[in-house]
Amino acid sequence: MNEQDYIHIYTQLILKSLKGTLEEVERDRLEDWLSQSQENRDFYERISQEHLLEEEMAFFSSIDSKGAFGKLKQHLPSSGKRENQEKKWWIRYAAAAAMLAVVIMGWGIYGGWLSIAPPTDQGTLATVDVEPGTDKAILILPDGEEILLEGAAEGTLKEDNGITVDKRLDQVIFNVRKDYTTPESKVNKIFVPKGGKYQVVLADGTKVWLNSASSLAFPSNFTGSSRTVTLKGEGYFEVAHDPEVPFIVQANDTEVKVLGTHFNINTYENEPLTKTTLLEGSVEVSHKDKSKVISPGEQALSNGQLSVSKIDTRQVVAWKDGLFMFKRTKLEDILRQLERWYAIKVSFDGDIPEKHFSGTISMDTNLSKVLGMLEMSGAIDFELKNGTVYVKNTTH
């Protein structure tokens, strides 16, 4: 067993013990580890007494464990007389402790139990913070009228010739009167800025969740032999089933054709690929002169070529449920997500650190706390100034 496997196994056992979810075999294994030395038991008891569990959030870094541990150690209280004695076993068990410590620190910061602010030393986070995004969007009607949905009262926003536009919570809903027969297709557009999310229910009953910095162009009423919309940015679709009239999403130079299904499309301009991920049903993805039918749990990647691979769909659509979910995700990919959700800019000082992170965190978390947890990798410092996050690679 290598060091990383060791860290992962005992981290999970300790966490499950703190949450009271250990099975009998796991409990025996943990007890065996605790009985191996007094140092192991001291560490477990010290962590247990901190009361830092928060089930709504778990964030851990599996990279540069010793560096992460070093940063956390600065914040943990010493025990006075035992300081020198403890120093030896803290160093000895740094690798195992670090991964667990990052989780515990993450929970503590998120839950508000720790009176620890992100570091404000030179090159790290400033005291200025950025709050998370909210439900907001701008609806542009066919006649050019713009409605700021965030500030609009709930109820009917517009009624015109058999088509009603309503707002309910964080949804804008298009309804068509049953006797509506006008064949003219009028195009609406909903734009979600950085720092926002919104949901729109189309005239056929299709539901669309739009992520930050995204837009959707769609008709007030679908007519003809297809239901066609145009997406920029990222959207999650739950398409109303209609075998006679296929639903088509145009996203840059990729086209997704469905009858009724659940899928996600990520087509941001600053992302290297257009990603179509299927959760339910089947879709046909076309890109240039190629096309492929994908099944649930698969993702089509299009950028000159068209390829299909298996994917963890939970990670892809976590944003819809208000979560950042990372699974060995590159730092640069994470920062692009933060740019959109917190409406900030990111600037790199030197090379982008080659780091990967795994974990889940609520999108309702303030930016400084997210960056503070990323800093626990021991290889990155952030400075937040005037809406820009400056990233410094500390490995050089």
Note the pLDDT of residue 180.
Answer: 63
Could you read off the pLDDT of 20-38 as tens digits, one per residue?
A: 777 787 788 888 888 887 7
Angle at 113 between CA 108 and CA 116, to 5 degrees: 75
The β-bridge relationship of strands 134-135 and 196-201 is parallel
Q: State the residue for tokens 């926002």.
A: 196
**Average pLDDT of every residue of the chain:** 77
β-pair partners for 190: 139, 216
- Residue 48 pLDDT exceeds 50: yes
Note the pLDDT of residue 92.
Answer: 38
Note the pLDDT of residue 377.
Answer: 62
pLDDT tier at 19, thresholds 50, 70, 90: low
Q: Where in the chain is the domain with CATH 2.60.120.1440?
A: 134-316
CATH topology of domain 134-316: Jelly Rolls (2.60.120)
In one-letter notation, the amino acid at residue 182 is: T
Rounded CA-CA distance 230/216 in Å is 6
Token code pair at residue 331: 């730092």
Note the pLDDT of residue 378.
Answer: 61
Note the pLDDT of residue 296.
Answer: 94
Q: How far is CA 75 from the centre of its chain?
A: 27
- Residue 71 pLDDT exceeds 70: no
Could you tell me the sign of the dihedral formed by the alpha carbons of 337, 348, 386, 372, in that order?
positive
Note the pLDDT of residue 360.
Answer: 80
β-pair partners for 251: 254
Token code pair at residue 86: 């403890």
Question: For the residues 388-393, what does the mean pLDDT come to?
Answer: 88
R_g over Cα of the chain:
25
- Residue 75 pLDDT exceeds 80: no
